[in-house]
Amino acid sequence: MKIINIKISKCSCVALSRFIIMSSILVLSSCKSFTHTDLTPVLTISQNRRFIATAAGDPFFWLGDTGWLLFTKLNRAEAEQYLENRRLKGFNVIQVMVLHGVRNEVNAYGDTALIDNRIDQPKVTPGNSFDDPEQYDYWDNIDYVIDLAGQKGIYIALVPVWGSNVRSGLVTREQAENYALWLAERYKNRNNIIWINGGDVRGDDSTAIWNIIGSSIRKTCKNQLITYHPFGRTQSSTWFHNEPWLDINMFQSGHRRYDQDTTGLAYGEDNWKYASDDYSRKPVKPTIDGEPSYEGIPQGLHDTTQPYWTDTDVRRYAYWSVFAGCCGFTYGNNSIMQFYKPSDQNPAYGVKEYWNIAINAPGASQMKYLKKLMLSKPYFERVPAGELLAGKQGSKYDYIAITRGKDYVFAYTCNGSEISLDMKMLSWTEYKVSWFDPRNGKVTYYGNSKNSGITAFNPPGEKTNGNDWVLILEKK
């Protein structure tokens, strides 16, 4: 296979080093002829800075999936199957690692990502014809998947390099900058790119490198959004909230139960608390739970004798965080995040289903109902509204999440608890009452009511975990 070697000069002159790599980028660009139909509009931050919008001003609700190993584990036919399934289920963002590892990273076709395991030496070929092995390479395959996603209206949220590689000392500052500039130049003209810096790593580990990557991408990609994926039960805002390259805060709330979160540094299963933290920060930035507990993964991750998280838990994380002010939600599934196949010898985290079966897991099918609900009302005016709750707020699974706009209120219970609201706080004379079922998206109208102050609303069924409902009140 003929290789164009983007080898960085070992000269100590940084300017010469950058000249060499940028010259190589221009050569590669002239060799490749990319054609793609992108059905994704450019994204921006909404005027109130709380949400994501299209350049035309329409609301964009981030409904993500953690397809972390999409580029390396799936061939083109499998990528088509996966992306089409996600499109039909309403997902519009797929979170993917560009490089899971620096050492010997290859894709489903056996194409190697790097030369000499150096992040600043991408192994690329002239041309991009899949029928010619001397042309088609690791990076061409990524181009293909990104373009395929764009044709389906799906954004690809790229993690340039997974955090463990940086934490292990496999990436220097100069290598990080050259690689980030190269990668950003390659994808700066794709509408359907969102950037995720970091990758399951605390921001106080190798902070300088994360700032270098974020700043390098921002320098080249003026119209693409950037966030940061932190370590479990931490949030990007702790380290990077004031960085000019960070557009969206992200937290990782998974994957432990209340009793397993013994560090005293986190919130257990209360992912809404991370959202509330970020919501109160200045300057205002959107925030999102980019990794809650995955469907089909052991509670606590490592002990496979523990119960596994289910669709009931996924729904709770989703509604809690979104009603607390998040700009969307990322769903995760144990089988999907690693694309578990029969050929895998050492799958992780006690995975039980192959990926092509797990794509139809209950939780994945239910996420579109949340997206549809949030977009059914004036979107940008929505705010958290816990002050409407009459009496004391419940703890843990008795917590009631409330959000509202000018003429509507949504209140969520994850276990069928009574919802008591102080209607005097609303200037409504009369209102419409409905119940929304997060399991199937059905709305049941229960009638109209006069505003008479504190009012208790009892959802259908008995109080039990998984009997979750959204109370919908609409001004008449």
CA-to-CA distance for 292 and 138, rounded, in angstroms?
30
Q: Residues 257, 299: contact at Cβ < 8 Å?
A: yes
Residues contacting residue 297 through CB under 8 Å, at least 6 positions apart: 255, 308, 309, 332, 333, 334, 349, 350, 351
> What are the structural domains, with CATH classification, of the chain?
4-374 (3.20.20.80), 385-475 (2.60.40)
Q: How confident is the model at residue 1 (pLDDT cuts 50, 70, 90)?
A: very low
Nearest of 160, 149, 222, 152 to residue 188 by alpha carbon: 222
What is the pLDDT at residue 157? 99
Evaluate if residue 433 carries a pLDDT over 50.
yes
Handedness of CA 325, 327, 328, 329 (dihedral sign): negative
Q: What's the whole-model pTM score?
A: 0.92
Q: Residues 106, 175: contact at Cβ < 8 Å?
A: no
Residues 355-376 have a mean pLDDT of 98
Residues 432-446 have a mean pLDDT of 98
Q: What is the secondary structure of 274-318 as a DSSP string? A: HHHHHHT-SS---EEES--PPBTSBTTSS-TTSPBP-HHHHHHHH
Evaluate if residue 265 carries a pLDDT over 80.
no
pLDDT in tens, 44-72: 999 999 999 999 999 999 999 999 999 99
Evaluate if residue 26 carries a pLDDT over 70.
no
What is the pLDDT at residue 22? 40
Handedness of CA 102, 105, 107, 109 (dihedral sign): positive
Q: How confident is the model at residue 266 (pLDDT cuts 50, 70, 90)?
A: confident
Evaluate if residue 28 carries a pLDDT over 50.
no
Residues 291-317 have a mean pLDDT of 98
Q: Which residue has the tokens 């500039």?
A: 181
Q: How confident is the model at residue 37 (pLDDT cuts 50, 70, 90)?
A: low
Cis peptide before 459 (omega within 30 of 0): no
Cα–Cα distance list, 292 to 173, 263, 318, 439 (Å)? 30, 18, 8, 18
CA-to-CA distance for 94 and 278, rounded, in angstroms?
23
Residues 118-147 have a mean pLDDT of 95
- The phi and psi torsions of 473 (rounded to 5 degrees) equal -115, 135
What is the pLDDT at residue 39? 87
CA-to-CA distance for 290 and 95, rounded, in angstroms?
9
Evaluate if residue 31 carries a pLDDT over 50.
no
Q: How confident is the model at residue 36 (pLDDT cuts 50, 70, 90)?
A: low
